[in-house]
Amino acid sequence: MPSVPLNMPKMSMTMEEGTIVEWQVAEGDAVASGDVVAIVTTDKVDMEVEATATGTVEKILHASGAIVPVGDPIAVIESEQEDLLGDILSPTPTAPPLGRVIAAPLARKLAKEAGIDLAAVTPTGSGGIIRARDVRDVIDQDSRTDVRAGSTAGIDPRVANAPTVTSAPAATAAMTSSLTDGELVGDARSRRLRVSTAAVMSASAAIPQFTVERRLELDATARARRAALNGVGWTTLMVRAYAMMLRHFPLLGGSFTAEGVRAHDRVGVALAVDTPAGLLAPVLRDPDQQPIRELDAAIRQLAADARAGALRPDSMAGATGTVSNLGGLGVRRFNALLTPPQATALSLGSIAHRVEVAPDGTFTAVLGCDVGLTVDHRAADGADGARGLQFLQELFLDPLMLSV
């Protein structure tokens, strides 16, 4: 019987190596082609590695935690298939995974109201559709069932799927925490994300960086947003404006190297998304060159994928800047830290009316947002950052520039 090597798969365009998170099989186990045998992480995204042949796991070549280059063998499978052509001639009947849950509108509404994760509801409708009655069945089951996030009293609906969230409000949950001294907080995936973030931020700490702040006036854009800008979200407009800025200022849009700042011929804006497992920053490619409505939809999809743990690895690469928004959590302003080798990061506070004194001494309510632009001082200077913010303000005063 032939031995077939199982290699580290290339799961994204930019993947060069992967870390084995865990083996789900042991030497001597029987596997079928398509079975998940290991979990591999790359660029913060966990991926399943499937057996490429049916047979027995003969040898595991790298233990959990090992970093293996793409294409190198990680295990050997002793295949029972004498004729490998047979594999080619009999197509595997596995259906491609659907990108989203299929459910009737009422099922979605009921699930949302009850804090139920639709992905955990068993569909009984034809074609795998979740019917309203399927959700009602789950509601009718007792409230201890683990698909109930029960976060109706929680502060942030985005953590509704987190397995650690209980039915108590977040503050109460913290007070009644049952963690013992020294116990690791969170599940394995969220801990891996913490370690990954720690590595990036430790590298960031070695970079001399400063933050320039400015309050952007948004009244003109607010007026245009409903009509001319098709009602797109503020995040979309901020990402768009930031991308235009990165394109316009090569020092801010580039990366510092020992020889100087190297320009990028693309703009990639990483959008920091708060997910149940922790911070993820999927990347929007050239968001200054996409129709604004498409960008709006792409941002919503990317954020939803991030929260659902459904990001593709190649959506994590290629960023030339990062946008963080804590305004939705009531934060007025903050300064984000750089993600090397990006030269800037944009932090967004809450969008709110603030009383301003007009030149004639009268008071007016002005809609605005406190933003901070964190800059790699090796790449650019304070005045460069200030000009970048000036550029953003000019865009928001002439918002049709954002829709082109």
Partner 1 sequence: MREMTYAEAIREAMATAMSKDDRVFLMGEDVGRYGGAFGVQNDLIDRFGPERIRDTTISELGTVGMGVGAAICGMRPIVEIQFSDFTAQAMDQIANQAAKLHFMVGGQAHVPLVIRAPGGSGTGAAAQHSQSLEAWFAHIPGLKVVMPSNATDAAALLLAALEDPNPVIVLEHKLLYKRTFQVPDEIPPAMLGVGHIERPGTDLTVVATGVEVSRAVEAAEVLAGEGISVEVIDPRTIRPLDKAMIIDSVKKTGRALLVQEAVLTGGFMSEVAAVIAESDAFAYLAAPVKRLCGLDIPIPYNPNLEKAAVPQVEDIVRDARILVEEW
Give residues in contact with partner 1 (CB under 8 A): 104-109, 125-126, 131-133
Return the number of the residue (131 or 377) whose C-beta is nearest partner 1.
131
**Closest approach of Cβ 136 to partner 1, in Å?**
10
Question: Least Å distance between CB 104 and partner 1?
Answer: 5
Nearest alpha carbon to residue 116 among 126, 130, 129:
130
136 vs 248 by CB, closer to partner 1? 136
- Strand intervals (E) in 327-388: 344-357, 363-376
For 36-71, letters b (16+ CB in 10 Å) and e give ebbbbbbbbbbbebbbbbbbbbbebebeeeeebeee
Cβ-based burial of 105 (10 A; exposed 0-12, middle 13-18, buried ≥19): exposed
* End-to-end alpha carbon distance in the chain: 62
CB nearer to partner 1: pick between 2 and 128: 128
| Separation between Cα atoms, residue 375 and residue 257, nearest integer Å | 15
Instruction: Rank residues 134 and 274 by Cβ distance to partner 1 and give the closer one.
Output: 134
As measured in angstroms, the least distance from the Cβ of 203 to partner 1 is: 46
Least separation in angstroms between CB 229 and partner 1 = 21
CB of residue 209 to partner 1, shortest distance in Å: 46
Q: Which is nearer to partner 1, 76 or 135 (CB)?
A: 135
Q: How far apart are CA 92 and CA 350, in angstroms?
A: 51
- Specify which residues 284 forms β-bridges with: 269
In the complex with partner 1, the residue whose CB is nearer, 105 or 208, is 105
The sign one gets for the Cα dihedral 174, 179, 184, 187 is negative
Nearest distance in Å: CB 308, partner 1: 20
